[in-house]
Chain A
């Protein structure tokens, strides 16, 4: 199974929602550390906050890849699939 077909099976909407929730949590933790600059909030912002931020952006990036994988004919930036596209279709479309 190629990477593209694997990615196509991922739920894009769920990934985007997860990204949003992770980023919202990260923003809350980081903002709290600014309003209440005490040891635990500051440590949490620099650890949990940053991890949630990265997770959120990773989910967003995955959602972008999923869309690229499911978009018909758009595969110039991904590994080729086992089924090549018809010759009449331009390879660089999209």
Chain B
């Protein structure tokens, strides 16, 4: 149950326990308000809870960047299963196997970058929660939700170019990269389009392009990976 808790998380829990012990001691024992009691209460009501608040915020913000967090809403489980399935060869899955992305692959690829990138990403996350609980997605089945889930705006090539800068020889040697340089820069052509490197989550495109069919199965299902990867056109391997 606590296997995912980080060292900071454990410190936070210990501080919370210590604070709770002090507070409960005061409530139960009702000691006289001497200097010792006041100082003890200052720790129990002020210092330790402040430490817990700071640490839990740090741990919470870290948790929001993990794939498990994204997949905790059932409508995203298709995407997370596809990304973590060992046999899946979708763009998302191949990136998830890279240690730089790892368990944070959703966040690394979908975060906004730049000066206001972090708060904007978090605000969008709040919008997701709103849509989930008040926009009807909570009550939709996974198959129905996958058909309707879409990005708020087209995927920005800048996110790809955080790593694939496009400045190295190998990147420039690809004729399509040269001929589409301006379009790629203006986001008129997406790196993750069908004709280029393929959709990041190809299974999610079936409902938008063809009659709906159940293509997403939990990890471990034999049919999940082939279905998930069948729509992905051949994509080149590691890019510069």
Residues of A within 8 A of B (CB): 12, 16-17, 19-21, 23-24, 26-27, 30-31, 33-35, 37-40, 42-43, 45-46, 49-50, 53, 56-57, 60, 64, 67
Q: Does B225 contact A (CB under 8 A)?
A: no
Tell me how many residues of B have a C-beta within 8 Å of chain A: 40
- Which of B40-48, B83-91, B108-116, B204-212 sits within the interface? B40-48
Q: Does B20 contact A (CB under 8 A)?
A: yes
Given A31-B16, A35-B1, A35-B5; A42-B49 close (CB under 8 Å):
no
Given A39-B72, A53-B50; A46-B60 close (CB under 8 Å):
yes
Question: Which of A30, A35, A45 is the most central at the interface, judged by chain B CB atoms within 10 Å of its CB?
Answer: A30
0 or 1 for each of B1-27: is its CB under 8 Å from A? (1 = yes): 110110001001100100110011011
Query: In the complex, how many angstroms separate the beta carbon of B203 from the nearest chain A beta carbon?
Result: 23
Query: A57 contacts which chain B residues (CB < 8 A)?
Result: 45-46, 49-50
0 or 1 for each of B37-74: is its CB under 8 Å from A? (1 = yes): 01001101110011011001101100110101100110
Q: Does the CB pair A38–B69 fall under 8 Å? A: yes
Total of A-B residue pairs, C-beta within 8 Å: 102
Q: Does the CB pair A53–B23 fall under 8 Å? A: no
Q: Does B33 contact A (CB under 8 A)?
A: yes
Given A20-B23, A60-B46; A31-B12 close (CB under 8 Å):
yes
Interchain CB contact (< 8 A) of A20 among B13, B27, B52: B27
Q: Does the CB pair A34–B129 fall under 8 Å? A: no
Q: Does the CB pair A45–B60 fall under 8 Å? A: yes
Q: Does the CB pair A30–B45 fall under 8 Å? A: no
4 more contacts with CB within 8 A, not counting A16-B33, A46-B60, A50-B53, are: A26-B49, A34-B5, A37-B59, A50-B57
Contacts of B68-120 to chain A: CB distance below 8 A: 68-69, 72-73
Given A20-B26, A34-B13, A53-B49; A60-B41 close (CB under 8 Å):
yes
Question: Which of A20, A35, A45, A50 is the most central at the interface, judged by chain B CB atoms within 10 Å of its CB?
Answer: A20
Q: Does the CB pair A23–B59 fall under 8 Å? A: no
Query: A31 contacts which chain B residues (CB < 8 A)?
Result: 12-13, 16, 52, 56
Interchain CB contact (< 8 A) of B41 among A16, A34, A40: A16
Query: In the complex, how many angstroms separate the beta carbon of A80 from the nearest chain B beta carbon?
Result: 25
- What separation, in Å, do the CA atoms of A60 and B38 have in the docked complex? 10
Q: Does the CB pair B49–A56 fall under 8 Å? A: yes
Interchain CB contact (< 8 A) of A27 among B16, B26, B64, B66: B16
Q: List 30 A-B contacts (CB under 8 A).
A: A16-B41, A19-B45, A24-B23, A27-B16, A27-B19, A27-B49, A27-B52, A30-B52, A31-B12, A31-B13, A34-B59, A34-B60, A35-B1, A35-B13, A37-B4, A37-B64, A37-B68, A39-B72, A39-B73, A40-B129, A43-B126, A46-B56, A46-B57, A50-B53, A56-B45, A57-B45, A57-B46, A57-B50, A60-B42, A60-B45
- What separation, in Å, do the CA atoms of A34 and B60 have in the docked complex? 7
Q: Does the CB pair B56–A49 fall under 8 Å? A: yes
- What separation, in Å, do the CA atoms of A78 and B59 have in the docked complex? 40
